[in-house]
């Protein structure tokens, strides 16, 4: 149980501090950062809303609300999927790419400071292996 409690407490604290640092320095939440990263890594800067929701482990309604807010800030746009006309795409804008580029060093410094630099190479391998096992065990059940 100690490992479980440590994971819960540590991961929540880590996410909270990473979120606070992004908010403070860039007026961007960790959720917005994750969305921009996913969009920027897609081949054309666009993803179906349903795929994006699955990728950031968010409900469709929560993601729609988040994208709407990000649209008002000029970070993303929504457009119809030309392949079927029913799907909606979220598309990263130049402003979204600019904001992501500005926020990335803050986020990466936080990840390094609060996690990476605390672990040696063996601990990093163990951590990666543990979460590969968790991810494989859960599969698609976490999404939805």
In a domain, 132, yes or no: yes
Q: Does 143 have pLDDT greater than 60?
A: no
Q: Tell me whether strands 76-80 and 88-92 are parallel, antiparallel or unpaired.
A: antiparallel
In a domain, 3, yes or no: no
Alpha-carbon span 38 to 45, nearest angstrom: 8
In a domain, 42, yes or no: yes
In a domain, 5, yes or no: no
Average pLDDT, rounded, for the chain: 93
In a domain, 17, yes or no: yes
Looking up tokens 């540590």 gives: 10
Q: What is the CATH number of the domain that holds 23?
A: 1.10.10.10
In a domain, 27, yes or no: yes
Alpha-carbon span 23 to 107, nearest angstrom: 11
Contacts (Cβ under 8 Å, ≥6 apart) of 7: none
pLDDT band at 4 (very low <50, low <70, confident <90, very high): very high
- List pLDDT tens digits, range 63-91: 999 999 999 999 999 998 877 767 899 99
In a domain, 122, yes or no: yes
Q: Does 101 have pLDDT greater than 70?
A: yes
The domain total for the chain is 1
Look up the pTM and report it.
0.90
Q: Could you tell me the residue range of the domain that residue 103 belongs to?
A: 11-142
Rg of the chain over CA atoms, in angstroms?
17
In a domain, 16, yes or no: yes
Contact 114, 18 (CB under 8 A): yes
Burial 47-56 (b: 16+ CB within 10 A, else e): bbbebbbbbb
């Amino acid at each position: 149980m100690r490992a479980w409690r440590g994971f819960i407490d540590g991961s929540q604290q880590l996410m909270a501090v990473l979120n606070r640092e992004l908010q403070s320095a860039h007026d961007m939440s960790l959720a917005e950062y994750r969305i921009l990263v996913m969009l920027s890594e897609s081949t054309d800067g666009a993803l179906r809303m349903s795929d994006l929701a699955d990728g950031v482990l968010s409900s469709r309604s929560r993601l729609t609300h988040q994208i709407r807010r990000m649209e008002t800030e000029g970070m993303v746009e929504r457009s119809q999927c030309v392949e079927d006309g029913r799907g909606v795409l979220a598309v990263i804008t130049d402003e979204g790419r600019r904001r992501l580029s500005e926020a990335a060093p803050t986020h990466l410094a936080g990840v390094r400071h609060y996690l990476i630099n605390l672990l040696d190479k063996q601990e990093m391998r163990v951590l990666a292996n543990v979460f590969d096992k968790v991810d494989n065990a859960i599969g698609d059940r976490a999404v939805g």
